[in-house]
Structure 1
Amino acid sequence: MKRILVPTDFSKEAEQALKVAAQLAKKHDCEIYLLHMLELPLDQIDALSQYSELPEAMFFMKLAHQKFEKTMSQEYLKGLTVHETVDFNKTFTGISDTCKTHNIDLIVMGSHGANGFKEMFIGSNTEKVVRTSEIPVLVIKNEHDNFEINNFVFASDFKNDNKGTYLQAVNLAKILDAKIHLLFVNTANNFITTNTAKARILDFIAGSNFENYTISIYNDDSVEKGILNFSHIVNADLIGISTHGRQGIAHFFNGSISEDLVNHAKRPVITFKI
């Protein structure tokens, strides 16, 4: 992990994400790409060279630069390499393009919490980023003076997910020196025995050569409740789930985990693309 992207609208939530990114960057010698998207009606302009002739573009560029200067002066960014990026594009497209251009390893984004998933940073575009991003997306919900991951819950049905998502989680756990809690949530509608669930999990992780993990089978009314309740019991520092791209968020357990998981989790959530 060498390059971290932090999209920002300079809100409190975006700053919380940037503070976490700064802590990760200091611990793991990373560069930060701080990205602000200007979604202006530029479809009426013929050429990119004419951006500077659009008064609105000039105004918002100057305003963004002033906010960048204020952000860059913060003590928590001292000593770090932070790249200031302002782009004219649709937010989702711009973030995706930036990731490809700079070979980003991790996206860190802020969230407004339980006000609705579409209220996450820069509107509903964040939903698209989390759902379709090819690289992991870390969603930060609160202020973290010391972002340290000891207990990392990785929830799955260990059947419909591919093993690539688990290997991404393992790589992250190694970097963070964290224990992974492999979690299968049993519900009345999709019940399997403990022995069957354990055998499925062991088969799923076979060959990963990662020893710092536990296996847990947890019973609850729903998968969402099970993940949240189990995470509370083990005092999880991070919850990991998988996404299936355009099919929706976290499609595992023979269906779909609702967006409530991201909204209602008081802990950071990281998503891995299947």
Structure 2
Amino acid sequence: MKRILVPIDFSGDSLKALRFAIYLANKLDCHLRIIHVQKSEKFEIPFHFEEMKNEIIHTVQEYLEKLIELHSAGYCVKNGVFDFKIRTGSVYREIVNQAKYGDAYMILMGAYGASGFEEFFIGSNAFKVVRNADCPVITVQNEFTKGQLKTIVMPIDASTETRKKIPFVTDIASSCNAKVHILGVHETTNSQIVGKIEHYMRQAEGYFKEANVEFVSSLRQGDNNTFSSLDYAREVEADLITIMTEQAESSFNMFFGSYAQQMVNRSEIPILSVPND
């Protein structure tokens, strides 16, 4: 059975990520594992744990045990395991290593951590995890209030690597009965570039048809592919945007380097980053 890994630093965003992860684990029939990374063996009181404000708890292990107890009722996978790991060291390295050696299907984490701390997530650990993980990573900022994932935006650019996310998107869309918006994006009027994007879009359409995934296709030109994708996702009230973590270097690539970081940092909509491996 597959496993979803959820980093928890007890910040509000990490707890929002846990609730989203429980939903996806139920839909995808996955084990669920929490990971908490300590800078040292010294115990520190968690920063944001309103659910347990009346509890007397003395160790990180007790907090995690209580957290699982509070959320176990929502986890409904037959023969599924909902557990936790505690590791010490570099936050992003320990998360990436746990995902690798625990054979995680995906990592689902908060984009922000506890503000005021050295290991704050945004622009730091979240993006480092996205860039270094061998598995897909979903980053979230807002509460999963809809209780379901129904609309996925999948931007397509002119790079060959852009198509590598299609099988993973298909898996999620099929499990959640979601509609995929295939969004061709480009920053140029070059007909060869646009033609290549349209060709890739048709390939994605064929893949989704074969998998019986509902989809719609659109093509947009703009000054910045990140902003074009975000604007479209907001218009259709998307629940998830999918990107490639890193793509071959080209002036027409969509999410290479800073573009991926822009998307993770700027989007209030969850971002699914699929590694280019």
- Does the alignment reach a TM-score above 0.5? yes
Deviations 1:169-202 (A, max 9, x none): 2222222221211111232476768666423422
Deviations 1:219-264 (A, max 9, x none): 223212210111122221110000128x89xx93396525222222
Partner of 1:226: 228
**Range with greater deviation from structure 2 (132-141 or 11-20):** 132-141
**Residues 26 and 258 (structure 1), Cα distance of their counterparts in 2 relative to 1, 3 Å cut:** closer
Partner of 1:68: 64
Partner of 1:131: 131
The TM-score, its normalising length taken from structure 2, stands at 0.77
Deviation, 1:162, is 5.1
Partner of 1:202: 202
Deviation, 1:120, is 5.6
Describe the SS at the equivalent of 2:121: coil
Describe the SS at the equivalent of 1:161: helix
- RMSD between superposed Cα atoms in Å: 3.2
Deviation, 1:7, is 0.6
Aligned length: 251
Preserved CA contact (<8 Å) 1:132 1:243: no
Matches within 5 A, 1:74-89: 74=70, 76-78=71-73, 80=75, 81-89=81-89
Partner of 1:49: none
Query: Structure 2 counterpart of 1:148, which letter?
Result: Q
**Does residue 1:173 correspond to 2:173, yes or no?**
yes
Query: Structure 2 counterpart of 1:252, which letter?
Result: N
Preserved CA contact (<8 Å) 2:6 2:33: yes
The 2-side partners of 1:254 and 1:70 are apart by 39
Identity %: 26
Query: Structure 2 counterpart of 1:179, which letter?
Result: K
**Residues 161 and 205 (structure 1), Cα distance of their counterparts in 2 relative to 1, 3 Å cut:** farther
Partner of 2:50: none
**Range with greater deviation from structure 2 (147-156 or 77-86):** 77-86
Long gaps (5+) in structure 1: 41-56
Partner of 2:164: 164
The TM-score, its normalising length taken from structure 1, stands at 0.78
Deviations 1:44-94 (A, max 9, x none): xxxxxxxxxxxxx264595312321332232x3326432121112322221
Describe the SS at the equivalent of 2:84: strand
Preserved CA contact (<8 Å) 1:239 1:267: yes
